[in-house]
Amino acid sequence: MVDMDVSYAEISSSPSQRMMRSLFGRGIPYWSLLIFGLVVIAAIGGENIAPHDPNGLDLGSAFKPPSWLEGGSIDYLLGTDNLGRDIFSRMIAGARVTLTVAVYAIVISGGIGALIGMIAGYFGKIVDTFIMRLVDIQMSIPSLALALVIATVLSPSLTTVIVVISITYWTWYARIIRGEILSLKERDYVALAKVAGCSTTTIFVRHLLPNILNTLLVLASLQVGQVIIFEASLSFLGLGIQSPDVSWGLMLADARNYIGNAWWAITLPGVAIMLTCLSANLIGDWLRDTLDPKRRQL
Amino acid sequence: MTMTMPDTAVAATAPLLEIRNLTKRFNAHGGGVVRAVENVSFSIGRGETFALVGESGCGKTTLTKLVLGLEKPTSGEILFHGADLATASSKAMHGYRRQAQAVFQDPYSSLNPRMRVSKIIAEPLMAHGIGDRDSQRARVLEMLDVVGLPKTAADLYPHEFSGGQRQRVAIARALSLKPAFMVLDEPISALDVSVRAQILNLLADIQDEFGLTYLIVAHDLALVEHFSSSVGVMYLGSMAELGPTESVFSHPKHPYTQALLASVPRPDPDHRAPVGVIYGEIGSAMAPPPGCKFHPRCPYAVDICKTTPPVDRELAPGQLVACHLAETIVPPVQSSIAPL
């Protein structure tokens, strides 16, 4: 009887519980789409929709706390950093760089990695051995050391960050996709496609690619967070985004020295990174389920 | 839709598929050679059904892969309409694929889960550039009708069907090119007992309707007796016995064939396993026994069996037996195998 009471209590959930369920449960991830949508709008709008100049120095109003805290003003919604720059405006401006890096890096590393992984897995033998040794070698090089070399050669910039991240992460895709293909190519429908007279290209596009999309989506959505953090590390080391450009990672790096005086200057971009990553992961899960014909009707 | 068919007069006598001294060896990991198929020869006449039987690991599946061009033979010839597949150009191979299709055992693995049934069935047509969208669609609906599925099935995904229905889809796909030859690799063994007979009847019906030649792999001997006109019994990559189904089943001459037939369960409580039942496991294809490969398990084996590989000898019309002692072995009493 006690158990039944408990389950009854769970069924008649409060609005906040229902909200949590819509965020973490099945179905369309409204919250994630909303957050990600806002980030995308910020990235498109950039400086144009920011209330202040993201690089506008105003030492007189440095270290202002967010508006809801004592000493904060509505003028600086999320407070200011050590140079008196508006954190809200910088976050809006930083969304563009952060998202650009994430999208390019994921598309490039995912595309190259998946293609190479498919080739290695499908053709096997010497091709596989060669590619996988290359991947092993690549993976044994510390990515930051590699980034240092590449950034020195190419000079630090947005492009460099994208190149470095792509070079670091393609191996990740290649390994996992190769494993998937190894099992997929043994499926009878691949053999039957050959029997039907399909070309290798057709088999790749029609039979292999659609069946690794799930994995690719999950990998890509998990990678969003890693890319943002990696970009932050590069920018922190002075190898990535350079002022006056802003990125969330650069904001973290800049605010680190003042964490005792102004916790918000490092926390709020951190929260933005976290929420963006979480949204990306949930949207990725949802897309995976939606694109899979087996799950579509569930 | 024009198919190049050879002279009908020739076709009536020449076999559709002829396999000569076919051998396939694989290099195993860590050295060693797997002798999957060794010096196998047989032929299948037009409209005939040839069954391959044998234990797991005897090379049946490798043989079908060779016949379908999914593997290249190490040596030997696979002649289809007299042209050798092993040395065929990729263009000739593409032409062959139009005439030779396949249905595999597991209908859950043989249909791409991401493709609609209409596309699955139309895919062979697309691969050969036959017809436009509309005529392909018409062919899809026609094939669905032939295999007894409703037209509405065309727009569904494979997971929306049962195993038996999936196998019908697989058959419709194999039929869509209107091939002359079809490989059936254990087409019913993954299905529920209740739908096996339906699928078998369907296969028999389309064979008549489309004039198909079948190469069927099976381990269900009752099915083979019922379904095929010729049978080849394989053991460890070699053909032990080969001939018309009727004579092989009524007068099995190879001890292995006798043992296989004797091991079929009978729906008779008084029936006891007859003498000649074999024990042990099939040998290793990496290190097959010398002489006759079957000798370690053969109750009749003598010295010559351990040293000299037997050659095929025709001991009855069309019945080839690879056994030194075939004439001297008295087969155990056979009663006809009960139907499914």
pLDDT digit string (tens) for B8-25? Answer: 444 446 789 999 999 999
Name the residue facing A293 among B65, B109, B113 (closest C-beta). B113
pLDDT bin (cut points 50, 70, 90) of residue B274 is low
Spatial distance between the Cα atoms of B40 and B254, rounded to a whole number of angstroms:
16
ipTM given for this complex? 0.84
CB contact under 8 Å between B104 and A194, yes or no, is no
Contact B124 A207 (CB under 8 A): no
Enter the tokens of residue B263: 């091991």
Please state, in angstroms and rounded to a whole number, the distance separating the CA atoms of residues A229 and A272.
12
A15 part of contact set with chain B, CB < 8 Å: no
CB-nearest to B127 from A189, A191, A196 is: A196
User: What is the distance in angstroms between the Cα of B120 and the nearest Cα belonging to chain A?
Assistant: 9
Of B105, B110, B157, Cβ closest to residue A189: B110
pLDDT higher than 70, residue B271:
no
Per-position DSSP letters for A19-83, written without gaps between them: HHHHHHSSS--HHHHHHHHHHHHHHHHGGGT-SS-TT---GGGTTPPPTTSTT--TTSTT-B-TT
Strand partners, B238: B235
Identify from B123, B128, B166 which residue to disrupt to test chain A contact, counting A C-beta atoms within 10 A and taking the largest count.
Answer: B123
Which chain A residue is nearest to residue B175, measuring alpha carbons? Answer: A196
Q: Is the pLDDT of residue B268 over 80?
A: no
Place B206 in a pLDDT band, splitting at 50, 70 and 90: very high
pTM of the model: 0.80
Residues of B in contact with A199 (CB under 8 A): 127
- Give the DSSP H or E segment for B46: none
If you average pLDDT over each of A71-75, A147-151, B191-195, B268-272, which comes out highest?
B191-195
Domain membership flag for residue A22: no
Given a contact cutoff of 8 angstroms between Cβ atoms, the answer to whether B230 and B306 are in contact is no
B256 touches B55 (CB < 8 A): no
> Measured between alpha carbons, how far is B340 from B105 in angstroms, rounded to an integer?
18
Q: Write the pLDDT tens digit of every residue in B151-171.
A: 999 999 999 999 999 999 999
pLDDT for the residue numbered B339: 47
Can you tell me the mean pLDDT for B256-278?
72
pLDDT digits (tens, 9 = 90+) for B32-72: 888 889 889 999 999 899 999 988 878 888 999 999 999 88
Alpha helices in chain B (DSSP H): 8-13, 60-67, 90-99, 117-127, 133-146, 163-175, 193-210, 221-227, 245-250, 255-262, 303-307
Q: Which domain holds residue A49?
A: 31-296
Whether A17 maps to a domain, the answer reads no
Nearest to A195 among B97, B106, B115 (CB): B97
- Residue pairs spanning A and B at CB distance below 8 A: 69
Instruction: Supply A274's token pair.
Output: 């976290």
Residues making up chain A, counted from first to last: 298
Among A197, A206, A207, select the one facing B97 at the smallest CB separation. A197
| Chain A: residue whose CA lies nearest to B103 | A192
Are the C-beta atoms of residues B53 and B231 closer than 8 Å to each other? yes
Q: Do A206 and B101 touch (CB under 8 A)?
A: no
Q: Please tell me the predicted confidence (pLDDT) of residue A72.
A: 74
* Residues whose CB is less than 8 angstroms from the CB of residue A1 and which lie 6 or more positions away in sequence, other chains included: none
Contact across the interface for A198 and B123, Cβ inside 8 Å: yes
* Interface-testing mutation among B26, B112, B136, with chain A (most A C-beta atoms within 10 A): B112
Judging by beta carbons within 10 Å of its beta carbon (0-12, 13-18, 19+), is residue B117 exposed, middle or buried? buried
Q: Quick one: pLDDT band at residue B147, thresholds 50, 70, 90?
A: very high
Examine residue A73 and state whether it is found in any structural domain, yes or no: yes
The C-alpha atoms of residue B19 and residue B246 are separated, in whole angstroms, by 22
In-domain check, residue A231: yes
Q: Which domains does chain B have, with CATH numbers?
A: 15-228 (3.40.50.300), 232-321 (no CATH)
C-alpha to C-alpha distance for B173 and B143, rounded to whole angstroms: 8
For residue B320, list its beta bridge partners: B242, B314
Give the distance from residue B234's alpha carbon to the nearest chain A alpha carbon, in angstroms: 23
pLDDT of residue A5: 44
For residue B275, the model assigns a pLDDT of 53
Q: Do A293 and B159 touch (CB under 8 A)?
A: yes
Q: Does A187 touch chain B (CB under 8 A)?
A: yes
**Does residue A192 sit at the B interface (CB-CB below 8 Å)?**
yes
Q: What backbone torsions phi and psi does residue B41 show, to the nearest 5 degrees? A: -135, 135
Give me the tens of pLDDT residue by residue for chain A, a chain 298 residues long.
344 444 444 445 566 665 565 545 567 788 889 999 999 999 898 888 888 888 888 777 778 888 888 877 778 888 888 888 888 999 999 999 889 999 999 999 999 999 999 999 999 889 999 999 999 998 898 888 888 888 788 888 888 889 888 988 999 999 999 999 999 998 999 999 999 999 999 999 999 999 998 889 888 988 887 888 888 888 877 788 887 888 888 888 888 888 888 888 889 988 998 899 888 888 888 888 777 777 655 4
Structure tokens at A117: 């992984």
Number of domains in chain A: 1
In the predicted model, is pLDDT for residue B232 greater than 90?
yes
- Judge whether B107 and B170 are in contact, CB under 8 Å: yes
Nearest to B112 among A189, A195, A197 (CB): A189
- Report if residue A14 sits inside a domain: no
Can you give the CATH number for the domain in which A290 is found?
1.10.3720.10
Neighbours of B126 (CB within 10 A): 18
Least confident range of A68-72, B116-120, B237-241: A68-72
Answer whether A177's CB lies under 8 Å from A211's CB: no
Whether residue A230 lies inside any domain: the answer is yes
